[in-house]
Structure 1
Amino acid sequence: MQVTKKIRRKPNIRITQSDHARLSALANTVAGRTPEASDELLAELERARIVADGWVSAGAVRMGSTVTFKPDTSDPKTVTLVFPGDADISEGKVSILTPIGTALIGLSAGQSIMWTARDGRRHELLVLEVGQPPPEVDVADRRAPAPSTIAAG
Structure 2
Amino acid sequence: MEMRAEKKQPAIHLIDEEADALTNLAIGVADSLPQVSELLLVEIGRAVIDSRETIPEDIVTMFATIEFIDEANGASRSVQLVYPKDADISAGRISILTPVGAGLIGLREGQSILWPDREGHERRLRVVKVAQRAPDA
TM-score where L is the length of structure 2 = 0.92
**Is 1:92 aligned to residue 85 of structure 2?**
no
- 2:110 is matched with which residue? 110
- 2:62 is matched with which residue? 63
Following the alignment from structure 1 to structure 2, what is the Cα–Cα distance between the partners of residues 5 and 109?
A: 24
Structure exhibiting the larger radius of gyration computed from Cα positions:
1
TM-score where L is the length of structure 1 = 0.83
Following the alignment from structure 1 to structure 2, what is the Cα–Cα distance between the partners of residues 130 and 37?
A: 23
- Tell me the percent identity: 38
- 2:4 is matched with which residue? 6
Provide runs of 4+ in structure 1 moved above 3 Å: none
Following the alignment from structure 1 to structure 2, what is the Cα–Cα distance between the partners of residues 7 and 15?
A: 23
| Structure 1: stretches of 5+ with no match in the other structure | 143-153
Deviation at 1:5, TM superposition (A): 8.2
Structure with greater proportional strand content:
2
| Structure 2: stretches of 5+ with no match in the other structure | none
Aligned residue pairs, count = 134
Q: CA RMSD in A?
A: 1.5
Following the alignment from structure 2 to structure 1, what is the Cα–Cα distance between the partners of residues 5 and 127?
A: 20
